[in-house]
Structure formats: structure tokens, C-alpha cells
Amino acid sequence: MKLHQLILPLLLGAVLAACSPRVDDIFDNTSVERLEQRRTELKNRLIQAENGWVMQYFAQSDPTTSDTIKHRGYTFLMQFREDGTVTVGAPVDGVFNTETSMWDIINDNSSVLTFNTFNRIFHYYSNPDPDLGLWGADGEGVGGDYEFMVLEYNTTEGYQLLKGKKNSCYVRLYPLAAGQDWEDYFAQIDAMNTFLFEENTPFDLYDGDKHFTLYNGRTHEFRAFTFGADTLGGGHYYGLLVTDKGIRLHDDSLLAAAVHRADFRLNESRTRLVSVLDPLVYLTVDGSTAFTSDANSGRPWNIDMNTLPAAVTATCTTLNANISAQAPNSYVARMRWDGAGQNRMALRIYYVVSGDAGNSFDTYYFNTSEDKGVITLTADDTYSSGSILYQFGGLDLVHAFNGSYSIDLLQGFHPSQGVTATRTDVSDFVLNMKH
């Protein structure tokens, strides 16, 4: 026998021995055992919350189409128990209600939280029955879920993340504070909702150089535009829900993705909704927008005469002296701003003639431009017919208001309470205006 005929079988044997299929186990237990262990851990976590959980729940969302029912978020309170029951609490037709049904954590390729018997409060949003009146007869419902894949627990913000098994919307569970009354919790949400949205004013969202204008907050369906964009068409629709501390945007929304933030809480001064992760990302009501927008056209902003700066006061004193020389006991009494259409404001100057405190006034016009909370006023020397103050130096007074102003609301989110306009190039020029 030739030598190479002996060597070949020996080499093959060595190769086969080296390719043995035996591999050391990475885990100490099987995949089934690991799933069961996680199931137990998750059930214990849900059960051990002393006062239950706050569920912040979104259904489907199409940012190109307005559909408030599908976009807006909903809040439920839930108490999970070891006997397999869960009590769900939420307002129903404006009245707080609770109902108890069944729940479980099941293993279905992953850990899944299921609400496996009908609960009239919770299943309302996943029930396709058109008789419920939330939708048309297409049988799709609002795209809600009643089974959720259990994802990671966010230790930074303290919530359990879920994902709808059917419609893939993200849902959060926050432990409810011990001792918090359930019904009172929803009263707190109602109070926050009233504070933020009772005037239905557009919001501004800032994130560095990014600036969005958000409409429709009252419906809990923001319609978002890049600041300065044409609002006659387009825009996108993004759902939100109100919390006891502020608002939360839909996690799936492009708006939340654009600023990488979803949770916003009202700051101590109650002037901004600030991201819980980045204080430089916030929502507010832009004072200059509130002051000049078409929505506020015709709204009179009365100037507090006591806040006029020295230069304006001196001009007003000269004007009064010129008037009284012609008609004794005549003087400027008060002033106010009115909206006069897009990018245009009117300054009304009221005056007393010979002691007669009538309602005589002259109107002067300003062109306006805005940029991130700063408004620039430029008088165009146009005044209404019948105006007489210009004969006595009224235009000098009007021109004294030319300049750029940083405008803030006297009370956040409430333009009706007035604005403060601070001249950016004259530090002591502050005007308080209310209507």
C-alpha cells in the first residue's frame, strides 16, 4: 500500500474530530425557562406597585391626515393583582369610572401583557364595533390594542415601555404615587388641560435652531409647521396627551423624533413646557405671535402709562404742552395697540379735550416683523383721517416706539392676561400691555 493512501484517512479523521458539533452552553437554563423567569419578574413588578400604574396610551396615527380620535392620547389608571384581576379607572363621558377584568403576562415569542377579558373602559379603543360611535362603519375602530409586547424598563424616566402587538404604538406605564387618589389624579389632568389650552393659542417648540409652530392644541392634535411656513395648507398632525405635570407627544410622531423628545413638564414659573431630558428643548406661547397674529387682530392691548420710559415720557410731556396751549386742560390720557392685519399694528392714542374725558383718539400704524420672540415695530407715518395730534408733535411720540422688543406673556400660555415688551436696544424701555 502506498504511503499517501494511509495518510489521507488519518487527515480526514483529524478534521472530523476538530469539527465536532458539541458547543458549550452560553446560558445556564433553557429559553423556555428564561421566558418563564422573565414572565414572573414582570408580573411581580406590575403587582408590587402600591397604588397601581398610570398608562399613557396612544392608538394609530397618520401625520398627513387630521383624525383627533386616533391621534390624541388617553390616560388610564390600573391596579394589577396577584389573583389575575386588574381594575381600570378613567373618565367615561366626563365621569370617573372603574371596572375590573382579567390580565396576564403570556409568552408569545416574547413577553406579552394581555387584557384577556372584556373591560368596557379599556377595550373601548380596540373594539371595532361601529355602534360605539367613535368611527364609521369600516370596522377598524381607532386602532387601539389590548395586547402589548413588554419592552425595557426606562430607569432614567421611571416607566415600563410597552408596544401594541397589533398596531405597534408605544405605550408607557408609570407607577402612580402612593396615596394619590385616583379620581383626584384626573382632576389634576383636567386643571393642567384648562391652564394650557383654554385660550387655544398656537404654541412654539424650540430645539436649538429648530422652531416649529403648533396649532390645534385644544383638540390634543397638534398641527405643526416650521416657523414662518405658509399655514394655509400642509402641515402635519401629531397626537398628544395631557399629564398632571405637562404633556406628552406621541412617541411615534415625526415631531417627537425631530427633537428627540416626547415628555414635557410645566416649569416652576408656569411659562414653559420643558423637556424632561433637555432643558433647552421646550414649548411655550410666543409673546410676539400672541401680540400680532391674525387670531388676535382687533385685540386691544392697553399700555400701562406708568411703564413708559423717560424718553417717551418727555416726548409725551412736550406733546401735552403743545395741546394745552391750544386747548387748556387737554392731554394724552392713555394708549393701546390693536391688531391691524398681517404684519401690521395700530397704535391708538386717546386724549382729553378741555377736560372732557370723551373717547377721542388718533390711530397711527406700524409695520411689524417677528423672529423667535422678538418683534420689530416701524412707524410708517400713516394715520387715520381726522387725526389731529400729529399737528402738535404726535408723530414724534409715535416714532419713539420704533425699535425691536422682546415680548413675553405676563402669564404663560395666557395672552389675554397681557404681555411685557422690553426694548432690546434701550434697557429701561419696558411696556406692560393688557386688554
Least confident segment among 118-122, 249-253, 422-426: 249-253
Q: 322 with 408, same domain?
A: yes
* pLDDT tens-digit readout, 97-138: 999 999 999 998 889 999 999 998 998 878 777 666 554 445
Domain end marker among 266, 284, 302: 284
Residue 220 falls inside a structural domain: yes
User: What residues form DSSP beta bridges with 171?
Assistant: 162
Q: 339 with 229, same domain?
A: no
**Looking at residue 176, what is its pLDDT?**
98
- Average pLDDT value for the chain: 85
Whether the per-residue pLDDT at 58 is higher than 90: the answer is no
**Looking at residue 309, what is its pLDDT?**
82
Q: 135 with 199, same domain?
A: no
- Angle in degrees, CA 195, 404, 216, rounded to 5: 30
If 0-12 CB within 10 Å is exposed, 13-18 middle and 19+ buried, where does residue 48 land?
exposed
Distance CA 236, CA 65 (A): 7
Distance CA 220, CA 205 (A): 15
Q: 48 with 170, same domain?
A: yes
Residue of 270 and 72 predicted with greater confidence: 270
Residue of 301 and 435 predicted with greater confidence: 301
Q: 138 with 258, same domain?
A: no
* pLDDT tens-digit readout, 367-376: 998 877 789 9
Least confident segment among 10-14, 238-242, 329-333, 420-424: 10-14
Q: 128 with 230, same domain?
A: no
Average pLDDT score over residue span 50-60: 91
**Looking at residue 404, what is its pLDDT?**
92
Domain end marker among 175, 207, 238: 175
Distance of CA 251 to the CA centre of its chain: 13
Q: 193 with 145, same domain?
A: no
Residue 147 falls inside a structural domain: yes
* pLDDT tens-digit readout, 147-205: 999 999 999 889 999 999 988 888 999 999 999 999 999 999 999 999 999 998 999 99
Least confident segment among 11-20, 140-149, 285-294: 11-20
What DSSP character marks residue 202? P
Band of the pLDDT at 21, cuts 50, 70, 90? low
Q: 303 with 276, same domain?
A: no
Q: 187 with 117, same domain?
A: no
**Looking at residue 132, what is its pLDDT?**
60
Comparing CA positions, the residue from 373, 346, 227, 162 lying closest to residue 288 is 373
Band of the pLDDT at 16, cuts 50, 70, 90? very low
**Looking at residue 109, what is its pLDDT?**
83
Q: 52 with 106, same domain?
A: yes
Q: 47 with 88, same domain?
A: yes
Can you list the positions of beta strands (E) in 232-343? 236-242, 246-249, 263-266, 273-275, 281-284, 301-303, 331-339
How many structural domains are present in the chain? 3
Residue 18 falls inside a structural domain: no
Would you state the torsion angle of the CA atoms of residues 97, 98, 101, 105, taken in this order, to the nearest 10 degrees?
A: 110
Residue of 332 and 260 predicted with greater confidence: 332
Q: What is the DSSP string of 92-138?
A: ETTEEEEEEEE-EEEESSSEEEE--S--TTTGGGT---GGGSSS-TT
Residue of 224 and 195 predicted with greater confidence: 195
Domain end marker among 284, 317, 349: 284
Classified as helix, coil or strand, 377 is strand
Whether the per-residue pLDDT at 91 is higher than 70: the answer is yes
Distance CA 399, CA 384 (A): 16
Distance CA 222, CA 72 (A): 9
- The CATH code of the domain that includes 382 is 2.40.128
Distance CA 24, CA 132 (A): 57
Whether the per-residue pLDDT at 421 is higher than 50: the answer is yes
Distance CA 363, CA 201 (A): 27
Range(s) of the domain holding residue 394: 291-434
Q: 296 with 429, same domain?
A: yes
Residue 6 falls inside a structural domain: no
Distance CA 51, CA 62 (A): 35
Kindly list the strands in the beta sheet with 147-154, ordered across the sheet, starting from the edge strand earlier in the chain: 95-102, 85-92, 74-80, 53-57, 170-175, 159-164, 147-154, 111-114, 104-107
Residue 15 falls inside a structural domain: no
**Looking at residue 186, what is its pLDDT?**
98
Portion of the chain with pLDDT greater than 90, in percent: 48
Whether the per-residue pLDDT at 269 is higher than 90: the answer is yes
Least confident segment among 120-134, 272-286, 354-368, 413-427: 120-134
**Looking at residue 64, what is its pLDDT?**
73
Q: What's the chain's Rg over C-alpha atoms? A: 32
Residue 8 falls inside a structural domain: no
